[in-house]
């Protein structure tokens, strides 16, 4: 059976088809949040086979394979590359109505020209054909970015990272993002003190007090700016509770440094105080702060002990968000030091909460200053994207939305921008067909162009 990924895939009206094909199909990509390897891009990595380029770090595939009864040997175990690919191929027919089914076949078609459906029966043929294509220059890391018309990629980088691989390659700017999550883990025992040594080495500052920690982080923040960084990012279950207390933050730091227990109260004070400083630095440099909220990580303790973090055992949290997020944003806004901000929400039950909270801090200084971020992680699929855009449309301005990102570790994930754009055009086109929006193609086309590309280009100041 040939592919169902037709020219009008996911476009269910004539208006949607016009909006996509005439207005957004050829637009460049700004992928402003990813976990791509800057080294792979800088060194123009040549991938050995389809497993390496496609499955090496894809927790979506790993979760589906486990749900399909695939042994861990063929996921993160010692299985050979083709064995692991074959196990995924056996899983794909079971993913009907899962976004993986769409992504898999969209990526096979866009990068390899393969239109057959992936299954156990087609695995060997698709493996052979894809691997033949992978050997070409266009399938090296920089060639993939060029194929996808990627203008900017922002990676995710610890403050101690040297950033030696960031730059411009084959027309794509590869820029860092300041992600200080490791500095937040004051109650993390030896992992925290080990991290301080890494930060000391990168900054040249001896981190023996909370003040010296701030000095080290500020030096790295300044350095990131010289390397083109214009975004920061923090991932957490929820924002810490205030108020800020430099005294308690210092006490928490000293207790961590000397191996003593750090209470929950001291941890909260430390994290809130540190986050305020980070937010002020972002505002000072006109950066955009990203907050990823609502995840519980490493839920399966047995497999975490065996496989480590980022192995596909994270999920949605139902922790309260409103008061904590409000307290943080308000503390920065009170001193007029609230930077432009993107908040990504992982729990769809909180969509209206997040959208209305951000509306409280729009101040007229920048169009769309406070952004409700695109459907993230478990929500970066059709239903989750539509939920996010519907909430934003109802409670804010869809027209100012900065659109999609991949949040991915794989260069083959770039067609998720196409996926998003098709969903956006179908959503707007559907409203126009029902008479709920004017059937003015230039007006609607301007909207989908802005959301797909132009808003991000203006907003982030790359």
- Angstrom distances, CA of residue 149 to CA of 62, 142, 295, 453: 28, 11, 32, 12
pLDDT tops 90 at residue 261 = yes
Q: Which two tokens stand for residue 46?
A: 């040549």
**Tokens at 233, concatenated:** 């990012």
Residue 144 token pair:
């993939």
Residue 63's pLDDT band, with cuts at 50, 70 and 90, is very high
pLDDT per residue as tens digits for the range 341-384: 999 999 999 999 999 999 999 999 999 999 999 999 999 999 99
- Give the mean pLDDT of 156-179: 98
| DSSP-assigned letters across all residues of 266-329 | HHHHHHHHHHHHHHHHHHHTT-EEEEEE-EE----HHHHHHH-SSSS--EE-----HHHHHHHH
List the one residue out of 462, 447, 427 whose CA is nearest residue 15. Answer: 427
Looking at residue 249, its pLDDT comes to 98
Q: What is the pLDDT of residues 275-333, one digit of tens each?
A: 999 999 999 999 999 999 999 999 999 999 999 988 999 999 999 999 999 999 999 99
Whether residue 304 contacts residue 313, with contact meaning beta carbons closer than 8 Å, is answered with yes
Q: In the prediction, which pLDDT does 61 show?
A: 97
**Is pLDDT at 3 greater than 90 in this prediction?**
no
Is 279:338 a contact under the CB 8 Å cutoff?
yes
Residue 1: pLDDT band by 50, 70, 90 thresholds? low
Q: How many helices (H) and strands (E) does the chain have?
A: 20, 10
pLDDT band per the 50, 70, 90 thresholds, residue 41: very high
Q: What is the pLDDT of residue 32?
A: 98
Local structure of residue 235 (DSSP, 8 states):
E
pLDDT exceeding 90 applies to what percent of the chain?
97
Predicted local distance difference test score (pLDDT) of residue 58: 93
């Amino acid at each position: 059976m040939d592919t169902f990924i037709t020219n009008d895939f996911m476009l269910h009206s004539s208006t949607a088809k016009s909006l996509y094909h005439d207005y957004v199909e050829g637009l460049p990509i700004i992928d402003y949040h990813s976990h791509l390897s800057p080294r792979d891009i800088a060194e123009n990595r040549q991938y050995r086979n389809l497993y390496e380029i496609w499955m090496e770090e894809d927790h979506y595939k790993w979760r589906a394979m486990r749900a399909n009864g695939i042994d861990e040997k063929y996921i993160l175990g010692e299985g050979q590359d083709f064995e692991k690919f074959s196990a995924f191929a056996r899983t794909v027919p079971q993913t009907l109505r899962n976004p993986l089914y769409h992504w898999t076949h969209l990526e096979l078609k866009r990068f390899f020209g393969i239109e057959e459906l992936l299954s156990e029966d087609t695995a060997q043929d698709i493996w052979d054909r894809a691997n033949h294509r992978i050997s070409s220059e266009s399938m090296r890391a920089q060639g993939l970015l060029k194929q996808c018309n990627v203008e900017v990629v922002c990676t995710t980088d610890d403050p101690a990272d040297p950033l030696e691989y960031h730059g411009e390659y084959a027309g794509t700017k590869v820029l860092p993002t300041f992600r200080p999550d490791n500095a937040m883990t004051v109650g993390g025992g030896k992992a925290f003190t080990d991290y301080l040594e890494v930060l000391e080495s990168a900054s040249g500052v001896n981190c023996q007090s909370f003040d010296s920690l701030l000095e080290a982080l500020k030096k790295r923040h300044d350095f990131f700016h010289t390397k083109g960084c214009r975004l920061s990012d923090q991932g957490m279950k929820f924002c810490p509770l205030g108020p800020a207390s430099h005294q308690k933050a210092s006490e928490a730091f000293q207790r961590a440094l000397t191996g003593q227990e750090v209470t929950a109260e001291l941890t909260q004070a430390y994290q809130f105080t540190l986050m305020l400083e980070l937010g002020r630095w972002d505002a000072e440099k006109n950066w955009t702060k990203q907050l990823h909220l609502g995840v519980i990580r490493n839920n399966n303790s047995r497999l975490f002990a065996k496989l480590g973090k980022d192995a596909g055992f994270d999920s949605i949290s139902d922790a309260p968000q409103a008061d904590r997020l409000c307290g943080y944003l308000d503390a920065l806004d009170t001193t007029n030091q609230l930077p432009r901000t993107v908040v990504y929400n992982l729990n769809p039950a909180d969509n209206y909460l997040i959208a209305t909270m951000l509306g409280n801090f729009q101040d007229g200084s920048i169009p769309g200053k406070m952004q409700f971020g695109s459907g993230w992680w478990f929500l970066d699929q059709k239903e989750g994207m539509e939920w996010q855009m519907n909430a934003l449309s109802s409670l804010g301005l869809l027209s100012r939305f900065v659109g999609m990102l991949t949040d991915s570790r794989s260069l083959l994930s770039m067609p998720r921008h196409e996926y998003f754009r098709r969903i956006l055009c179908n959503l707007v086109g559907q409203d126009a067909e029902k008479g709920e929006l004017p059937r003015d193609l230039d007006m609607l086309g301007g909207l989908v162009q802005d959301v797909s590309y132009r808003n991000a280009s203006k907003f982030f100041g790359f």
